[in-house]
Amino acid sequence: MQTILTGVRANEEPTIGNFLGAYTPMINLAHEHATDSQINFFVPDLHSFTTPIDHDKLYDQIIKGIKYYIAAGLDINNPNVHIYRQSHVPAHSEMCWILDCFTPYGEASRMTQFKEKSTDADNTFVSVGLFNYPILMAADILLYDAKYIPLGEDQFQHLELARNIAIRVNNKFDQEIFTIPAPEKEQVKFMHLENGLRIRSLVDPTKKMSKSAKNEKSKISLNDNPKDAAKKIMSATTDSEGVIRFDMINQPGISNLLTIEALLNNRPIQDVIADWAGQTSYGDLKRKVAESVEHFLANFQERVAAISDEDVEKVLEKGEAYANEVANRKLHAVQKLVGLRK
Ligand code: ATP
Ligand code: MG
């Protein structure tokens, strides 16, 4: 059985960017492949403090992250669905070290996300963990022989790094020890998308919406008060073109709103673009999107509230037993390959 795997780092409150870019595709794929794939939806909690966080809040954030997966529609009664915390499967960290030693420093240094995050004025402590995180991510993927990893466009470079590491190790030892994750184009096709998805910041639509962004107005967080979230949409940055068009280069703010509107209502983007073609009132478009966001958040938050901590514990017990078994098997095979075991 093939494995489909994804995770959302538990640092800050996830945004609708995470929801639309990672949760929705994963949940759609989990439905589509309910019987022919293993579906691993994990919480990459060791990735949480590659940038500074409030550690007192981390544990609750992790548990909430799992509630979000369930509330988003993941079928936890499907025996092929596995939810687990990275930190509770020690093989991730051990595999990361081995992969570190098969990753050229130069290649790791090219990661644009590290360049961006390490030069971000808000980031006062640039750790080795931040530099190393794409290699831990490679371990997250390669331990489970995952071929498909639904993720947003910002992660494609890290995916490519994971592919390169897998190919390098396989070639060096002349063995198909790792399944090579599908390349970017194939991933996008598998998700039934034309391009990778990048929801934009509401303040600066040339940038992506990020949960770690300090400006609250730039993002819609999943725990935002629905009415406040609607206000953020109403004050989103647009442009002075004066006509509604889908044009990510010249009208990224408007295009972003059209994208959010389509995805939240589960409609093809082309249909939403057609609805608004030629219209000139940015206010009307914002009101419609604000309504969709408000409606979505109110519903989602109600579903989250209905999931108990006990539900989460049960799901984790099962998921972590499975993950440890699969990951340890792979780790042992790799330890043998590199000469650590007979
Ligand atoms: P951070 O600022 O902490 O890096 P993030 O919002 O980038 O937060 P991640 O935890 O790094 O979130 O990413 C989790 C998943 O969400 C990844 O698959 C990523 O590609 C996806 N994702 C993140 N931001 C967006 C976005 N703006 N649009 C679409 N997908 C996104
Ligand atoms: Mg990110």
Domain identity same for 81 and 127? yes
**For residue 79, with 0-12 CB atoms within 10 Å meaning exposed, 13-18 middle and 19 or more buried, which class applies?**
exposed
Q: What is the per-residue pLDDT for 180?
A: 98
Arithmetic mean of pLDDT over the chain:
95
Q: Is the dihedral of CA 136, 106, 172, 179 positive or negative?
A: positive
Verify that 220 and 330 share a domain, yes or no. Answer: no
Q: Which atom of ligand 1 is nearest to the CA of 155?
A: 20
**Is the CB of residue 17 below 6 angstroms from any atom belonging to ligand 1?**
yes
Asked if residue 220 has its Cβ within 6 Å of ligand 1, the reply is: no
Q: What is the pLDDT of residue 34?
A: 94
- Looking at the fold, whether 150 and 23 belong to one and the same domain comes out as yes
State yes or no: is 117 an active-site residue: yes
Question: Using alpha carbons only, how large is the chain's radius of gyration in Å?
Answer: 20
Q: Are residues 11 and 126 in the same domain?
A: yes
Please indicate whether residue 9, judged by its CB atom, sits closer than 6 Å to ligand 1.
Answer: yes
By alpha-carbon position, which residue is closest to atom 20 of ligand 1?
152
**Is 205 inside a domain boundary?**
no
Partners of residue 271 on adjacent β-strands: none
Domain count across the chain: 2
Q: Give every residue of the chain whose pLDDT is below 50, as ranges.
A: none
**Structural domain harbouring 182:** 2-192+309-337
Q: Looking at the structure, tell me whether residues 52 and 131 fall in a common domain.
A: yes
Same domain for 288 and 313: no
Same domain, 85 and 143: yes
- Model confidence pLDDT, tens digit, residues 213-225: 989 999 999 999 9
Which domain CATH number covers 237?
1.10.240.10
Tell me how far the alpha carbon of residue 104 lies from the centroid of ligand 2, in angstroms: 23
In a domain, 200, yes or no: no
What confidence score (pLDDT) does residue 120 get? 85
211 is annotated as an active-site residue: yes
Supply the pLDDT for residue 331.
Answer: 98
Is 147 annotated as catalytic? no
Residue nearest to atom 7 of ligand 1 (CA): 210
68 assigned to some structural domain: yes
Residue written as tokens 């530099």?
131
Same domain, 156 and 174: yes
Per-residue pLDDT, 146: 98
Question: Which tokens belong to 270?
Answer: 């082309």
Q: How far is CA 101 from CA 71, 329, 340, in A?
A: 39, 20, 14
Indicate whether 280 and 320 sit together in one domain.
no
How much is the pLDDT for 123? 81
Residue 106 lies in a domain: yes
Residue 201 within any structural domain of the chain: no
Residue 121: the pLDDT is: 81
Tell me, yes or no, whether 173 lies in a domain: yes
Q: Tell whether 76 and 186 lie within a shared domain.
A: yes
Residue 174 pLDDT: 98
CATH of residue 96's domain is 3.40.50.620
Note the pLDDT of residue 196.
79
Q: What distance in Å separates the CA atoms of residue 100 and residue 104, rounded to the nearest whole number?
A: 8
- Same domain for 245 and 324? no
- Residue 25 shares a structural domain with residue 146: yes
| Protein residue with its CA nearest to atom 23 in ligand 1 | 18
Q: Is 208 in the pocket of ligand 1 (CB under 6 A)?
A: yes
